[in-house]
């Protein structure tokens, strides 16, 4: 009985809400409302009031999988709420055109990808891509004067851009990131090597120009299966007792082709190739060697550059648009126009801390070199007055001084 009560205490009722067609699914509490899958609801997020689509209705999940505190939905969306939402979509299209025009006017090297109004119209967000940091302070002022609302500019990566725009992959299906993936996982060239795929950058890159996300799907299975196979070129002992060299392996079938000495030939160097199950062979297990295929110099250079880009993006964060529930860490304050420029240099480092008297104290004055009491006292008095006038707290003069 106690175990049942503990299990119930560890569960919480939630609904899954998605705010955009290709957005992340967020957890909210239904409260006392009966919310069905497919319904539209009004919720309160860190961005403000927003309208979201319920992708799955009430269900029990573990409290460990929920970020506390769990927000409750405000209400189920009415017909008027949906009209406001549709009107915002129309205004977003106009805002996109205006913002692109303003970027050209200010000669900013940035690409506007998407824009988004909050449901109550209190904020207008623009998503953009750029090679580096962009000084868009004047752009924000210009946009604020046009739209008369709070403006937020948010820089995203190429994967996020592709997720927003959507498209068809080389497999002929809709892009995974645009259809069902909630987030991005780190992908490396090693995953392609592990699956014996061609290392041609054009064949393992997605529409975003980065390594395909689907390389991660079967990586664990291939890693496990490869661990039970010998490396190509390794020495193995067959069930017949012959020693041979591995010439090829079949990962999924777990078959190994071995070159052994041909007993029927008079030539001592003659080899016979036989296929065995990996479990039948005896070999020394070691780390797998994934030697890249022989590619030309241009492909090798492109592959190296692709690996560097993916490594840098994996180290960073391309989840800057996943901040509606608890987005304090990813709210994009660095790029918010009203706070993004000048914060680092507004005086914290240069307001007199380094020069407020420590370097000019009596322990470093010329009086020590002259060893004269008059000069020593004069220098101490001189530096004391200088420190008094400059102030001991960040260069600010003391109260009552001139």
Q: What is the DSSP string of 57-100?
A: EEEEEEGGGSPSSPPBEEEE--HHHHHHHHHHHHHHHHHHHHHH
* Widest pairwise Cα distance in the chain: 110
Residue linked to tokens 């220098």? 379
Look up residue 278 and give its DSSP letter.
G
pLDDT tens across the length of the chain (402 residues): 444 445 555 888 888 898 876 677 888 988 888 888 889 999 988 888 889 999 888 888 888 878 778 888 999 999 999 999 999 999 999 999 999 999 999 999 999 999 999 898 889 999 999 988 889 999 999 999 999 999 999 999 888 889 888 899 988 999 998 888 877 888 988 899 889 888 888 889 998 889 999 999 999 999 999 888 998 888 999 988 888 999 999 999 999 999 988 777 777 778 888 899 988 888 877 655 555 444 566 667 677 777 777 766 655 444 444 455 544 333 344 344 344 344 444 444 444 444 444 444 444 444 444 444 444 445 555 555 554 444 444 444 444 443
Q: What does DSSP assign to residue 147? A: H
Q: What is the Cα–Cα distance from 158 to 176, expressed in whole angstroms?
A: 15
In 99-234, which ranges are E strands? 111-117, 123-129, 150-155
Work out the angle between the directed axes of helices 79-105 and 137-147 (0-180°, nearest 10): 140
- Record the tokens describing residue 322, joined without a space: 């996943």
Angle at 386 between CA 380 and CA 387, to 5 degrees: 85
CB 282 within 8 A of CB 237: yes
Phi-psi region of 151 (alpha: psi -120 to 50; beta: other; left: phi over 0): beta
């Amino acid at each position: 009985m106690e175990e049942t009560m503990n299990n119930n205490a560890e569960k919480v009722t939630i609904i899954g809400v998605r705010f955009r067609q290709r957005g992340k699914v967020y957890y909210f509490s239904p409260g006392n409302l009966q919310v069905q899958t497919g319904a539209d609801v009004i919720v309160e997020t860190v961005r403000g009031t927003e309208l979201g689509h319920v992708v799955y209705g009430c269900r029990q999940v573990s409290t460990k999988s929920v970020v506390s505190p769990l927000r409750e939905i405000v209400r189920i969306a009415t017909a008027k709420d949906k009209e406001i939402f549709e009107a915002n979509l129309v205004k977003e299209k106009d805002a996109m055109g205006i913002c692109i025009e303003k970027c050209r006017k200010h000669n900013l090297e940035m690409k506007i990808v998407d824009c988004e109004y909050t449901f109550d119209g209190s904020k207008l967000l623009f998503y953009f891509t750029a090679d580096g940091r962009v000084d868009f302070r004047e752009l924000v002022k210009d946009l604020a004067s046009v739209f008369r609302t709070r403006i937020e500019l948010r820089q995203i990566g190429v994967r996020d851009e592709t997720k927003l725009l959507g498209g068809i992959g080389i497999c002929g299906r809709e892009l995974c990131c645009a259809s069902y993936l909630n987030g991005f996982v780190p992908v490396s060239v090693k995953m392609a090597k592990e699956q014996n795929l061609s290392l041609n950058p054009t064949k393992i890159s997605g529409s975003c120009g980065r390594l395909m996300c689907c390389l991660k799907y079967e990586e664990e299975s291939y890693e496990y299966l490869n661990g039970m196979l010998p490396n190509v070129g390794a020495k193995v002992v067959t069930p017949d007792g012959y020693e041979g060299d591995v010439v090829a392996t079949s990962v999924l079938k777990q078959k190994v082709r071995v070159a052994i000495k041909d007993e029927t030939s008079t030539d001592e160097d003659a080899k016979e190739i036989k296929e065995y199950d990996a479990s039948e062979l005896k070999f020394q297990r070691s780390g797998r060697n994934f030697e890249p295929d022989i590619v030309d110099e241009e492909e090798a250079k492109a592959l190296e550059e692709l690996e560097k880009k993916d490594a840098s993006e994996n180290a960073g964060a391309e989840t800057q648009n996943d901040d509606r529930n608890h987005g304090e860490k990813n709210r994009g304050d660095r790029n918010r126009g009203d706070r993004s420029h000048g914060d680092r240099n507004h005086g914290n480092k240069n307001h007199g801390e380094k020069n407020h008297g420590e370097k000019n104290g009596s322990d470093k004055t010329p009086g020590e070199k002259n060893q004269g009491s008059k000069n020593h006292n004069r220098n101490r008095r001189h530096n004391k007055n200088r420190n008094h006038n400059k102030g001991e707290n960040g260069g600010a003069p003391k109260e009552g001084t001139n």
